[in-house]
Structure 1
Amino acid sequence: MTKLNGIRAVAFDVFGTIVEIGDKRRPYKQLMQKIYKAGREKDLKDAELLMSTNIAFSNVPSLFDMNLSPEEISLLEKELMSELSTITLYPEVLFTLNSLKEAGYKIGLCSNLATPYAKPVKELLPFELDAYAWSFEVGAIKPEERIYQKLCEALHCMPNEVLMIGDTLEEDYLGSRSFGMHALHLNRSCESQMAESISKLDELLSIPL
């Protein structure tokens, strides 16, 4: 494992990294399918727009200049609430976060996600973190440089003082490294051949930072 010296802050991706969804209802996918069925032409950037816009779930159709019935929206909102209620922390997260805090590191989150998912995640955390770079607040998604920049600014750290950890290779590892940050790739499914990879977050605690 590569030694990572000079680190003052550790930032984590969210879904697949510190939390998981127990019952994936995929309400946004269902909503977009209805929007497309109503006449909206599919665009590869629709998902990016959803995650980079601070908008309530019920207002998403208006973002695409479309209308759905109140009944359709209500049913999908129930799906959303059901999904949100099954968000849980991975087993080693509390110990890892508490250990980093006790060691004096700043801690942040940097995630591509839609607006409703942030609150339930924050409610699971053991304490208020130092920085949150939510894509819907920043107006940019990983691996765009702007979201890493906002993260570093919120942490009051230079990029080379921040370690980014996440399960997505391009967004969390390659993207942050290209911005000048340190990074570790989280691969929970199997042991990775990459030198800078971990399979559980608490493995981070054995690395000299």
Structure 2
Amino acid sequence: MNQTPKVIIFDAFGTLVKIGESRHPYRRLMNWLKDNGRKPTTNDASIIMSNNLDFEELAVLFGKALPTELLKEINHDLQFELNTIMLFEDVIPTLQILKDLGFKIALCSNLAKPYGDKLKTILPKNLFDVLVLSYEVDAIKPEINIYETLRTKLDFQMCEALFIGDNPILDVEVPISLGMSARLIERNKMQNLSDVLSDLLLKQE
């Protein structure tokens, strides 16, 4: 990396937080829509994550009305899944060090509204300068607008930002193409934040 960043931007799921047990409620919704005559499109995920809608409203947007019992089951699956979401153990201590060192800290995530609401209850608010959530800004990674929203909210130049995430395209390739630095974290290989931020964390000594 050519210079020490001023802003460190984190992805959410797979980077700072994890789902303990997945029930895939949105996949269940989309499978039901497909089984009932709606042809899937490549834009479906973008629609889900860039609109502030519940399951019933999403189904209507996709042209169908969900049966009451199915709606109840999907909402139950969602609530079960939300209740298993937790921070990785290294998140709070690492972010606290970065904050103490003077870095601005941001979150940038593609997710549906219920997951964003849950995140806001478990993320340490005092450690984040801004949260940019796809459904709140009507844009998802890799769309340029979501990264530009970050830049505008924190007033930085792209070369002053470091993006950390688990997706090699959305969190690494695209940020680099925009002039940021970026690093991949691979939690499935037992990496933690200190592994990918060791050079910055050493500045505390």
Normalising by structure 2, what TM-score? 0.91
Question: For residue 76 of structure 1, what is the aligned residue in structure 2?
Answer: 74
Question: For residue 101 of structure 2, what is the aligned residue in structure 1?
Answer: 103
After TM superposition, the structure 1 stretch with the greater mean CA deviation from structure 2, 88-97 or 150-159, is 150-159
> Stretches of 4+ moved more than 4 A in 1?
none
Assess if the C-alpha contact under 8 Å between 2:10 and 2:108 holds in 1.
yes
Alpha-carbon distance, 1:6 to partner: 3.8
Question: For residue 194 of structure 2, what is the aligned residue in structure 1?
Answer: 202
Alpha-carbon distance, 1:65 to partner: 1.5
Query: What is the identity, as a one-letter code, of the residue corresponding to 1:158?
Result: Q
Normalising by structure 1, what TM-score? 0.90
Assess if the C-alpha contact under 8 Å between 1:132 and 1:154 holds in 2.
no
Give the Cα separation in 2 of the matches to 1:157 and 1:85.
35
Matched pairs, number: 200
Give the Cα separation in 1 of the matches to 2:98 and 2:196.
9
Alignment of 1:1-209 (within 5 A): 3=1, 5-128=3-126, 129-190=128-189, 199-208=191-200
Query: What is the identity, as a one-letter code, of the residue corresponding to 1:39?
Result: G
Alpha-carbon distance, 1:4 to partner: 5.0
Aligned partner of residue 125 in structure 2, secondary structure: coil
Give the Cα separation in 2 of the matches to 1:206 and 1:33.
43
Assess if the C-alpha contact under 8 Å between 1:165 and 1:185 holds in 2.
yes
Assess if the C-alpha contact under 8 Å between 2:11 and 2:109 holds in 1.
yes
Identity %: 38
Give the Cα separation in 2 of the matches to 1:189 and 1:65.
38
Aligned partner of residue 184 in structure 1, secondary structure: strand
Spell out, residue by residue over 1:62-117, the C-alpha distance to the aligned partner (whole angstroms, 9 max, x if none).
11011111221111101000000000111110111111111111111111111110
Distance 1:4 1:99, change over 3 A: farther
Spell out, residue by residue over 1:96-153, the C-alpha distance to the aligned partner (whole angstroms, 9 max, x if none).
1111111111111111111110111121112242111111122221111111111111
After TM superposition, the structure 1 stretch with the greater mean CA deviation from structure 2, 168-177 or 137-146, is 137-146
Give the Cα separation in 1 of the matches to 2:11 and 2:183.
11
Gaps of 5+ in 1: 192-198
Aligned-residue RMSD, C-alpha: 1.6
Give the Cα separation in 2 of the matches to 1:126 and 1:137.
19
After TM superposition, the structure 1 stretch with the greater mean CA deviation from structure 2, 66-75 or 163-172, is 66-75
Gaps of 5+ in 2: none
Spell out, residue by residue over 1:182-208, the C-alpha distance to the aligned partner (whole angstroms, 9 max, x if none).
1111122338xxxxxxx3112344214
Bigger proportion of residues as helix: 2
Give the Cα separation in 2 of the matches to 1:4 and 1:117.
35
Alpha-carbon distance, 1:40 to partner: 0.9
Assess if the C-alpha contact under 8 Å between 2:10 and 2:165 holds in 1.
yes
Give the Cα separation in 1 of the matches to 2:180 and 2:95.
20
